């Protein structure tokens, strides 16, 4: 079976310099006048994605403003530490030393919401964090051998999963656009829908007519302008700023000691394998963009960083950590390949995490404004999955059937939330998440069609691996 071309193993320690002795663009240390604006672009590209998981999970488990602020601060802190570790590295142990951003991935949101729904009040976050801890251990154990497992996660499988992530999450921004609180008497009121539509319109206008940096931060500008527009109508709550501490380090296990539920663990371990596939693909792509081809040891060090961040994150309130594909796009677009630019962006995220009052600013964004922006954010995830599937050999009838059945299995929990009500609780947790259900079906069908005695089909399934 074909394996990804990983190339020869490099020597341990610092990355090699070009043969002529010049500094490789990846290792270039830019002047502050170039370094800071370039780092700001990376922060702008990833910030909304970093705060999305804590915002969604925090709202789902009913955290108050103070708890939501702590959760956001923890997400920023872990993202900053993981990004610094990834870009600067620790000897030959961890860090791919590429301009690679790491933070909590949106791919884990839907399974974590399913865990929260099947857990008793007060045990939701502990159950999530217990599963995340084990997923981190899984990543550390499997990482060194993951190159051999990539054949089981070709674009055919990852495309299905990424598409389902976007589709499964779409009810979240729709609920936000209606006010966020389904028990409120004015849920779905026209004032909320109008604010969400206004925010979405701002993002579309900036994306259409903006240029350069303004176009890159269209999502953030939409959030800012939408929040400002909400103030005159009394739809923005500033109480979080008054109660948030200026500076504070996250408290270990502030949301309770982790609890270990087998079904929840299985669900997030599956998601972790998908995240590892995305990270590996991101490293391979970034290596090509930076003219520093990614080899096996680089992938191992990069995945080890994912595992460390995912393992340590729950201690302080973080979630599964992986690569941010949008920042790979920033490197490709700007041609700035210095890993120190991304390390600086990681340092800024770390500082934001140490000052909870800055995280509280994010929690000021009204739910309808988040809803308007969320339609763009989660819709773009689904588009990424569709783009991956378009390169996965869908001219083969077996692949069409595989994708059709896997997508159908993933959409069942969305179309019929009570479909698995009669199943055991562990099965409800796994199958009740469209991402987990779709991923399981896609992997099993990929094995059935392309790995069980049918070698001729493998090339089609792995065409773009």
pLDDT in tens, 427-465: 776 777 777 788 889 889 998 988 776 554 444 444 444
Q: Note the pLDDT tens digit of each residue in 139-149.
A: 999 888 876 76
pLDDT at 2: 36
pLDDT at 193: 94
pLDDT at 333: 63
Instruction: Return d(Cα 214, Cα 206) in angstroms, integer.
Output: 7
Q: Note the pLDDT tens digit of each residue in 387-396.
A: 888 888 888 8
Instruction: Return d(Cα 197, Cα 435) in angstroms, integer.
Output: 28
Torsion of CA 52, 58, 62, 67, to 10 degrees: -130
Instruction: Return d(Cα 138, Cα 150) in angstroms, integer.
Output: 15
> Both tokens of residue 15?
């990355």
How far is CA 288 from each of CA 8, 104, 269, rounded to the nearest angstrom? 15, 24, 29
Instruction: Return d(Cα 111, Cα 155) in angstroms, integer.
Output: 21
> Both tokens of residue 20?
């002529």
Instruction: Return d(Cα 118, Cα 105) in angstroms, integer.
Output: 21
Q: What is the DSSP letter of 104?
A: E
Instruction: Return d(Cα 55, Cα 78) in angstroms, integer.
Output: 15
Instruction: Return d(Cα 385, Cα 406) in angstroms, integer.
Output: 13
Q: Is 247 left (phi over 0), alpha (psi -120 to 50) or beta?
A: beta
**Residue 195's pLDDT band (cuts 50, 70, 90):** very high
pLDDT at 233: 86
> Both tokens of residue 124?
């939701």
Q: Note the pLDDT tens digit of each residue in 283-338.
A: 877 777 788 877 778 888 999 999 999 999 999 989 998 887 667 767 776 677 88
**Residue 234's pLDDT band (cuts 50, 70, 90):** confident
What is the mean predicted confidence (pLDDT) over 160-168?
81
Mean pLDDT taken over the chain: 81
Q: Report the run of H or E that residue 53 belongs to, with start and end.
A: helix 32-60
Is residue 321 classed as helix, strand or coil in its secondary structure?
A: strand
Residue 224 burial (10 A CB sphere; 0-12, 13-18, 19+):
middle
What is the mean predicted confidence (pLDDT) over 367-375?
85
> Both tokens of residue 3?
């394996």
Using the predicted structure, report yes or no on whether residue 10 has a pLDDT greater than 60. Answer: no
First CA to last CA across the chain, in angstroms?
Answer: 12
**Residue 238's pLDDT band (cuts 50, 70, 90):** confident
CA–centroid distance for 31 within its chain: 31
Among 68-77, 212-221, 317-326, name the most confident range: 68-77
> Both tokens of residue 45?
């590209």
Q: Note the pLDDT tens digit of each residue in 84-132.
A: 999 998 888 888 898 888 888 877 887 888 888 888 888 899 999 999 9
- Structure pTM? 0.69
Place of tokens 């934001």: 352
Instruction: Return d(Cα 400, Cα 215) in angstroms, integer.
Output: 36
Is residue 371 classed as helix, strand or coil in its secondary structure?
A: helix
What is the mean predicted confidence (pLDDT) over 266-271?
84
Using the predicted structure, report yes or no on whether residue 176 has a pLDDT greater than 90. Answer: no
């Amino acid at each position: 079976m074909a394996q990804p071309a990983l190339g020869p193993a490099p020597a341990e320690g610092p990355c090699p310099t070009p043969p002529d002795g010049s500094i490789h663009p990846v290792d270039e240390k830019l002047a502050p006048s170039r370094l800071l604006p370039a780092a700001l672009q990376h922060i702008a590209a990833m910030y909304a994605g970093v705060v999305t998981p804590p915002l969604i999970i925090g709202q789902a488990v009913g955290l108050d403003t103070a708890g939501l602020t702590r959760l956001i601060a923890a997400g920023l802190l872990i993202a900053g530490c993981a990004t610094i570790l990834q870009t600067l590295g620790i000897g030959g142990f961890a860090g791919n030393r590429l301009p690679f951003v790491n933070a909590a991935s949106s791919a884990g949101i839907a399974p974590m919401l399913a865990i929260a729904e099947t857990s008793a009040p007060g045990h939701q976050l502990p159950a999530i964090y217990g599963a995340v801890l084990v997923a981190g251990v899984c990543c550390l154990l499997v990482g060194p051998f993951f190159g051999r497992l990539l054949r089981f996660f070709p674009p055919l499988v990852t495309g299905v999963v990424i598409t389902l992530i976007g589709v499964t999450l779409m009810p979240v921004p729709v609920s936000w656009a209606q006010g966020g609180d389904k028990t409120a008497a004015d849920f779905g009121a026209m004032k909320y829908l109008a604010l969400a539509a206004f925010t979405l319109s701002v993002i579309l206008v900036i994306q259409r007519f903006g240029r350069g940096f303004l176009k890159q931060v269209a999502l953030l500008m939409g959030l800012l302008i939408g929040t400002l527009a909400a103030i005159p109508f009394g739809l923005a709550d500033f109480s979080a700023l008054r109660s948030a501490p200026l500076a504070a380090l996250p408290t270990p296990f502030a949301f309770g000691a982790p609890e270990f539920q087998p079904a929840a663990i299985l669900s997030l371990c599956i998601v972790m394998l998908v995240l590892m596939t995305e990270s590996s693909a991101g490293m391979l792509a970034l290596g090509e963009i930076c003219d520093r081809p990614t080899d096996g040891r680089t992938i191992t060090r990069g995945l080890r960083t994912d595992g460390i961040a995912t393992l340590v994150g729950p201690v302080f309130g973080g979630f599964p950590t992986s690569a941010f594909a949008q920042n790979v796009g920033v490197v490709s677009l700007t041609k700035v390949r210095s890993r120190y630019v991304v390390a600086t962006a990681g340092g800024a995220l770390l500082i934001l995490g140490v000052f909870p009052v800055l995280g509280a600013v994010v929690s000021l964004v009204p739910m309808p404004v988040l809803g308007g922006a969320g339609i763009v954010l989660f819709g773009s995830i689904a588009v990424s999955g569709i783009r991956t599937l378009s390169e996965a050999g869908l001219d083969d009838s077996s692949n069409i059937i595989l994708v059709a059945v896997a997508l159908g299995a993933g959409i069942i929990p969305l179309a019929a939330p009570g479909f698995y009500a009669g199943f055991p609780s562990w099965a409800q947790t796994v199958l009740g998440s469209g991402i987990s259900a779709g991923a399981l079906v896609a992997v099993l069908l990929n094995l059935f069609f392309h790995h069980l005695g049918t070698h001729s089909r493998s090339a089609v399934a792995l065409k773009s691996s």
